[in-house]
C-alpha cells in the first residue's frame, strides 16, 4: 500500500513537471455591443453630465469605445429643456439650462445609431452631516492601532430613503468594489447615526478624509448593489454573468437593441476631517 502511494505521488509530481495540463482556448460567442450610459444630475448647481460607450466582450480589457455624435436632450418637470454638448469623445455635458433641485424629476433622451433611448430619474430629499470625527484606536479585534474616521448625522423620519457614501483619502476616492457603501433607512429610520466607521485601514497624522453623502433613488440603490454582486462574481461558485437593472429604455418597441448603465439624480452633502 505504501509502495502504491509512493508511485502515485511520483507520478503526480512528474506530471506537474511535464505540464500535463493542456491549455484549452475558449470560443466565447461575441455578443452585439450595447449602449452603455453613465450619467448624473445633482443639486450642486452644475450641469448634467453623461458618458456614452459601447459594451465589449467579457475577456476584452481594452477601454470601451466611446459613442460619438449622439444627440442628448434633458428635460425637467417644469418644462425646461437643455441640449447636452459633446465636450470629449463620448462625454456630453449640459449648458446649465436645466439644473438639479430637490424634488425635481428629469428625463434624458439619447438618439444614436438610429435608436432613441430614454431615462427618468429624480432628486430626493437629503439629511445633513453633523461632523466627521477622528478617533485613535488601540489594536483590538476589529482595529489595527491607528486613527479612524467616523460619521455623525441625523436620518430623516419616514421610511424610503437610500444613501451612498463616497470617501476620499487625501483627494483620492476609495473606488474598489469593496469600498462601495450604500444603505437604506429601513432599520434606522429617523434615528441619529453615530460612530459609523468610514475606513478599514488606519490613518496617519496629516491624512485628510473627505466624505460625500449622496441621497439616491431607490432603483439606483438596487442598481449599485447588483453591480457589486456581478463584479465580485468570481471563483469556484461563480454564476453566469448577467446585466444588472437599468433605467435606460429603448423607446422603439421591437427594436431588439437595449442599453445598460444608469442616469441618476442625487443630492450631495460633504464634510471633511484631518488627522492632527
pLDDT class for 254, splitting at 50, 70, 90? confident
User: Residue 12's pLDDT is what?
Assistant: 43
From CA 91, how far away is CA 105, in angstroms rounded? 22
Does 257 reside within a domain?
A: yes
pLDDT higher than threshold 90 for residue 234: no
Q: Which of 113, 112, 49, 119 is nearest to 84 (CA)?
A: 49
Please state the pTM of the whole predicted model: 0.84
Question: What would the mean pLDDT of 237-265 be, rounded to a whole number?
Answer: 90
Q: Which helix (H) or strand (E) is 150 found in, with range?
A: strand 146-154
Does 76 reside within a domain?
A: yes
From CA 170, how far away is CA 13, in angstroms rounded? 50
pLDDT class for 10, splitting at 50, 70, 90? very low
From CA 22, how far away is CA 176, in angstroms rounded? 34
Main-chain dihedrals φ then ψ at residue 33, nearest 5 degrees: -60, 140
pLDDT higher than threshold 60 for residue 6: no
User: Residue 182's pLDDT is what?
Assistant: 93
Does 94 reside within a domain?
A: yes
User: Residue 31's pLDDT is what?
Assistant: 75
From CA 241, how far away is CA 268, in angstroms rounded? 32
User: Residue 20's pLDDT is what?
Assistant: 56
From CA 59, how far away is CA 39, in angstroms rounded? 25
pLDDT class for 23, splitting at 50, 70, 90? low
Decide: 95 and 53 in contact? Cβ < 8 Å: no
Question: What would the mean pLDDT of 3-28 be, rounded to a whole number?
Answer: 50
Q: How many structural domains compose the chain?
A: 1
* pLDDT tens per residue, range 115-140: 999 999 999 999 999 999 999 999 99
* pLDDT tens per residue, range 136-170: 999 999 899 999 999 999 999 999 999 999 999 99
Query: CA triplet 143, 145, 151: central angle to 5 degrees?
Result: 60
Supply the range of the domain harboring residue 45: 35-124+244-265
From CA 216, how far away is CA 122, in angstroms rounded? 8
Query: What count of residues does the chain have?
Result: 276
What totals of helices (H) and strands (E) does the chain contain, helices first? 2, 16
Does 207 reside within a domain?
A: no
Does 149 reside within a domain?
A: no
* pLDDT tens per residue, range 47-64: 999 999 999 887 788 899
Does 74 reside within a domain?
A: yes
User: Residue 28's pLDDT is what?
Assistant: 58
**Mean pLDDT (the chain, rounded):** 90
The CATH number of the domain holding residue 60 is 2.60.40
From CA 263, how far away is CA 269, in angstroms rounded? 19
Does 104 reside within a domain?
A: yes
Instruction: Record the cell numbers describing residue 27, joined without a space.
Output: 470560443
Beta bridge partners of 249: 118
Does 62 reside within a domain?
A: yes
Amino acid at each position: 500500500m505504501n509502495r502504491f502511494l509512493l508511485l502515485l505521488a511520483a507520478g503526480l509530481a512528474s506530471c506537474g513537471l511535464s505540464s500535463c495540463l493542456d491549455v484549452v482556448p475558449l470560443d466565447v460567442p461575441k455578443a452585439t455591443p450595447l449602449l452603455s450610459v453613465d450619467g448624473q444630475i445633482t443639486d450642486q448647481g452644475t450641469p448634467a453630465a453623461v458618458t456614452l460607450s459601447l459594451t465589449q466582450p467579457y475577456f476584452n480589457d481594452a477601454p470601451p469605445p466611446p459613442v460619438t455624435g449622439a444627440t442628448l436632450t434633458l428635460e425637467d418637470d417644469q418644462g425646461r429643456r437643455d441640449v447636452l454638448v459633446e465636450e470629449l469623445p463620448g462625454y456630453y455635458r449640459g449648458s446649465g439650462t436645466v439644473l438639479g433641485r430637490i424634488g425635481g424629476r428629469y428625463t434624458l433622451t439619447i438618439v444614436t445609431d438610429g435608436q432613441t433611448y430614454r431615462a427618468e430619474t429624480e432628486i430626493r430629499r437629503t439629511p445633513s452631516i453633523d461632523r466627521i470625527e477622528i478617533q485613535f484606536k488601540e489594536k483590538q479585534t476589529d482595529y489595527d492601532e491607528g486613527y479612524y474616521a467616523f460619521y455623525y448625522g441625523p436620518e430623516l423620519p419616514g421610511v424610503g430613503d437610500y444613501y451612498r457614501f463616497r470617501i476620499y483619502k487625501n483627494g483620492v476616492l476609495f473606488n474598489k468594489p469593496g469600498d462601495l457603501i450604500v444603505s437604506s433607512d429601513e432599520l434606522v429610520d429617523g434615528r441619529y447615526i453615530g460612530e459609523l466607521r468610514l475606513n478599514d485601514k488606519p490613518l496617519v497624522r496629516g491624512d485628510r478624509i473627505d466624505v460625500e453623502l449622496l441621497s439616491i433613488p431607490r432603483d439606483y440603490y438596487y442598481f449599485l448593489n447588483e453591480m457589486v454582486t456581478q463584479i465580485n462574481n468570481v471563483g469556484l461558485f461563480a454564476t453566469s454573468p448577467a446585466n444588472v437593472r437599468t433605467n435606460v429604455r429603448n423607446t422603439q418597441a421591437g427594436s431588439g437593441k437595449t442599453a445598460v448603465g444608469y442616469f441618476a439624480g442625487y443630492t450631495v452633502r460633504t464634510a471633511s476631517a484631518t488627522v492632527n
